[in-house]
Amino acid sequence: QVTKDDFQTFDYILCMDESNLRDLKRKSNQVKDCKAKIELLGTYDPQKQLIIEDPYYGNEKDFETVYEQCVRCCKAFLEKCH
């Protein structure tokens, strides 16, 4: 769970889909001095797959796909931001 302190502590809070993004932005509006930039992790995907679908009801391949997306996006995020 993301806490109110997280919005004041971290520079970025990255999420997987638009529902998460909407919820996090709504929660951040209730935090004084929010410093976190809230974004979709997929924003950094070199393959332009913006949304990272929840694989929970899928099969093993779906979990592998999500893992690959997350690795790509995290690598691109770290290269861009650091």
Tell me what the mean pLDDT of segment 33-43 comes to. Answer: 97
Q: Read off the CATH number of the domain in which 31 is found.
A: 3.40.50.2300
Which listed residue (5, 11, 33, 54) is catalytic? 54
Give the pLDDT score at 55. 96
The domain of 73 spans 5-81
* Torsion, Cα of 24, 20, 80, 37 (10° steps): -10
Residue identified by tokens 């893992």 is 67
Q: What is the pTM of this model?
A: 0.91
Task: Please say if 54 is a catalytic residue.
Answer: yes
Task: Name the percent of the chain lying above pLDDT 70.
Answer: 99
Give the pLDDT score at 81. 77
Q: Is the pLDDT of residue 24 over 90?
A: yes
For the chain, the domain total comes to 1
Give start and end residues of each alpha helix (H) in 1-82: 4-9, 18-28, 60-81
Q: Is the pLDDT of residue 82 over 70?
A: no
Tell me what the mean pLDDT of segment 1-22 comes to. Answer: 97
Hey, what are 59's tokens? 């099969």
Tell me what the mean pLDDT of segment 41-63 comes to. Answer: 97
